[in-house]
Chains A and B, each alone.
Chain A
């Protein structure tokens, strides 16, 4: 049996926005969803891909010998556990009491063996463990990963099953079921909704999300994440087109915040308080 590996899109050191404390975020490549607003489109395909950034091309004509200008970059590197652990250990002195690994993607559950082993190695070395997951995976695959974490960050992208399918490529039944199972584990949950104007920023959707959030026993907080078009240029570099959406206005966020707060759900907007 060969060594356990995963296709890694990127490892971000000193990540300050992917969970508590200072973290190292490991982005696996491959995701079962295909959200129309995805801000990490390079993490959707489970295969290595070449990204082409035309603005960095120096026109040297030596593409076949390797590109060094940053114009052609291969996204996706098969990495072993040891290689990933070595990266984590570099950040380890900075984790303090709250930081650690954030296993993200893509969807870590598409590499169940690797993800479980990585979380175990971190536990053995006293490194905190957070998982960012779509929750779109078979419970028997996902639950063992969730159990290994200190905190789980997951999305509720749309409460309407049909619209969820329209915007992400899959319905939300499995996700809601996994959310319920996750809540039974007693692990703190950060539930999030990426909010896109005209797609999911209606009162009905956010009310439904707030009701679900309010039902969770282990919710740390519910977070509204304003849409940002980070994925557009990355999709273009992959030769794909991604629609540019808009984030709701600050006024609309204030209204949505009121909806959530009326359900007594602890709320953050983009990692911060609710003052916009």
Chain B
């Protein structure tokens, strides 16, 4: 079998796994994560070390992790060149008792968290990025030596080092079991080309079980192992600058003749198949020099060969190789899998520098998450784990104004500010609690291995990161902005409605014909992303205040920590919408809130992506975190003369105007509707849901509807 035939088979296996997983887990509404189905009869029973039935801290986590890894099914497919796959995740086993509230209560924060629908991030984990260079340099054996060496220095940190040592030994045992399996498969494998690659896989794994990777194949296998074992611990999905860190291995192997490009491409496809970690490609260094190289191109080709979900982000800067950007856009349209996406270097780096960091540091902060950036090895950002539902904050303010005398949008905005500030304060306190006690609850025993300071100091990363720039995302911007705009236009400027009518309509959820008329009046007002509309102005005003309030919020426990604002809802638009009553933008009670920084569907009759792009560029908080532009394109555009150039113009202009991140779906409307009606007929249809890509068939009907609506009513 040649590589093409092998990949075709692997792709079939992937599709089969996707459907089997949905059978096992139900609708996932999340990234695919690269998991394979659990075998029949698999069972893991955690051993608690707490009266509440949970397991916590260095010892509790290490013991259970070792038990899980020792019992975790192995995965070797002879058609691959790399091995290992994850299927089970340890922290899933304490969902009901996730945070150890008996020891670290936060009852006093709960009323505010509930009132403002805050996703507080307490005991969320893994949302930072490892520095893979540490692992590449030391290998698992070297990391073990390092742990043992520092254990002798920091003798008061025995529990920490014992845990890290146990984790490393378990990882090596896990790899060892795969080596046994490869040997077993070789006993019966007769196809010569498959025997050859199994032998290469065997040699590679015998090396990387303890030694640092020396070849491209070994570096990819080492990456696959770390990704796999880190996923099993806490689902960590942060990758690295894929074309940068692997390039020296690739170059050396190609130059020495040890590796040919076709094999390198197959190995890369294999790595991307094993796990859709978030990787950055291209970009510039601290001297604005282009980082694109031959491997950048090869990675796109490898992802194309594989043709499944991937989380590749191309960093865009005016100095970057324009041909690479063009190729990236071409891939997006050719394969229609929602990758790559694009992030804007200027606004991200310049924005991050506003927090007091130099350019070199800002440039190290790369795209390694769904919507987020992090500095590998150095930063603890909790990005994408903390969110405030500003649609809910708006509702609270609106409700408070009801009984007041001189009602106005100005008064409403003052109330909104007060409540937003309260929400931010409660959020910051939650972050404080989390950072203070994460080590006691969910220490990051796997990721610690590749973070600066951890092994050296004998501390969990939550306690010893070099940089704490902690992200707080707002969700529901368009709902709040359009609500303010509708009230300003229809009540104050035009006098078509009065406040009592609006309140009455909201309370009845726009019931009856009169309610529906009120809803029509409000929802047809000037909306956010309509193009220099009242909605656009309110969105900017809300963002300015949101940014100011978060960026300057005092963190009482440590002056070196900063909060960084962004706009992002992740896939929680349905969940967040359920707790928000009817809003003055014409939204019904319980309906989903707006998506990320995007406008509400139907924001303009022509759905102009340019106005959406300009509107979203204007609401960038501008401190290094993102407010993504989510676009849906018809695939036919790329077939038209100059179609790719049009998309390139849109991407580069959005970034020139200040945009930070662009997620693009290229969807055939008819196919999407057909897949919505019968998802099983399209098990390989991939859509970019928010920052992540997902198999359409694994999304719940409700979620599929959202994607369909966005496509049909949006662009």
Contacts and interface: CB of A to CB of B under 8 A. Distances in A.
B649 A22 contact: yes
Interface stretch (A12-20, A31-39, A47-55): A12-20
Contacts of B531: 13, 87, 90
Contacts of B609: 14
Contacts of B608: 12-14, 91
B417 interface: no
B641 interface: yes
A271 B641 contact: yes
A60 B639 contact: no
A160 to B, nearest CB: 30
B364 interface: no
A16 B643 CA distance: 8
Given A21-B645, A268-B641, A14 B516 contact: no
Interface in A58-82: 58-62, 66, 68-70
B513 A60 contact: yes
Interface string B652-669: 010011000000000000
A58 B643 contact: no
B642 A93 contact: no
> Which of B496, B516, B641 is packed against the most chain A CB atoms within 10 Å?
B641
Given A22-B649, A22-B650, A98-B642, A13 B610 contact: yes
Contacts of A114: none
A19 to B, nearest CB: 9
Nearest to A271: B640
Contacts of B521: 68
A273 interface: yes
Contact of A94 (B532, B610, B642): B610
A20 B614 contact: no
B640 A96 contact: no
Contacts of A98: 642, 645
A130 to B, nearest CB: 13
A203 B639 CA distance: 27
A87 B608 CA distance: 12
A93 B636 contact: no
Interface in A234-268: 268
The 3 closest A-B pairs by CB, nearest first: A13-B608, A96-B649, A14-B608
A10 B636 CA distance: 24
Interface in B475-532: 496, 513-514, 516-517, 520-521, 524, 531-532
Interface in B626-657: 636-637, 639-643, 645-646, 648-650, 653, 656-657
A24 B648 CA distance: 17
Interface in A1-27: 10, 12-17, 20-22
A88 to B, nearest CB: 11
A17 B640 CA distance: 9
Contact of B520 (A58, A96, A271): A58
B537 interface: no
Contact of B524 (A17, A68, A95): A68
Interface residues of B, number: 33
A271 B608 CA distance: 20
A154 B514 CA distance: 48
A59 B516 CA distance: 9
B514 A94 contact: no
Interface residues of A, number: 33
B611 interface: yes
A227 B609 CA distance: 26
A84 to B, nearest CB: 13
A59 B521 CA distance: 14
Contacts of B516: 58, 60, 69
Interface string A181-200: 00000000000000000000
25 contacts: A13-B610, A13-B611, A14-B606, A14-B610, A14-B611, A16-B643, A17-B640, A21-B645, A22-B610, A58-B517, A58-B520, A60-B513, A60-B520, A61-B513, A66-B496, A68-B520, A86-B532, A90-B610, A91-B611, A93-B614, A95-B649, A96-B649, A99-B646, A271-B641, A273-B639
A93 B516 CA distance: 38
A86 B532 CA distance: 10
B572 interface: no
B606 A21 contact: no
B513 A93 contact: no
A90 B643 contact: no
Given A13-B604, A13-B608, A22-B650, A60 B514 contact: yes
Nearest to A66: B496
A179 B573 CA distance: 54
B658 to A, nearest CB: 11
B611 A90 contact: yes
Nearest to A61: B513
Contacts of A22: 610, 646, 649-650
B280 interface: no
A91 B610 contact: yes
A93 B640 contact: no
Contacts of B611: 13-14, 90-91
A59 B513 contact: yes
B613 interface: yes
Interface of A: 10, 12-17, 20-22, 58-62, 66, 68-70, 86-87, 90-91, 93-96, 98-99, 268, 271-273
Contacts of B656: 93
Is chain B's binding surface mostly helix, strand, loop or mixed? Answer: helix
Contacts of A272: 636, 639-641
A24 to B, nearest CB: 8
Contacts of A96: 645-646, 648-649, 653
A68 B657 CA distance: 33
A46 B495 CA distance: 32
A240 to B, nearest CB: 21
A15 B645 CA distance: 13
A168 B4 CA distance: 55
Nearest to A268: B641
B645 A16 contact: no
> Which of B637, B639, B649 is packed against the most chain A CB atoms within 10 Å?
B649
A90 B643 CA distance: 21
Given A69-B520, A93-B656, A272-B641, 11 more contacts: A10-B606, A13-B606, A14-B606, A16-B643, A17-B640, A58-B516, A68-B524, A69-B517, A90-B610, A90-B611, A93-B653
B251 to A, nearest CB: 35
Contacts of A268: 641
> Which of A13, A66, A70, A87 is packed against the most chain B CB atoms within 10 Å?
A13
Nearest to A11: B606
B474 to A, nearest CB: 25
B649 A68 contact: no
B409 to A, nearest CB: 19
Interface string B518-555: 00110010000001100000000000000000000000
Contacts of A95: 649
Nearest to B643: A16
Contact of B640 (A16, A62, A94): A16
Contacts of B513: 58-61
A77 to B, nearest CB: 13
Contacts of A69: 516-517, 520, 524
A86 B533 CA distance: 13
A96 B644 CA distance: 13
A90 B614 CA distance: 8
Nearest to A58: B516
B636 A94 contact: no
A72 B641 CA distance: 37
B517 A68 contact: yes
Nearest to A93: B653
Interface in B598-618: 604, 606, 608-611, 613-614
Given A22-B650, A70-B524, A272-B639, A60 B645 contact: no
Contacts of A99: 646, 649
Contacts of A13: 531, 604, 606, 608, 610-611
B532 A90 contact: yes
Given A14-B606, A68-B520, A271-B640, A21 B646 contact: yes
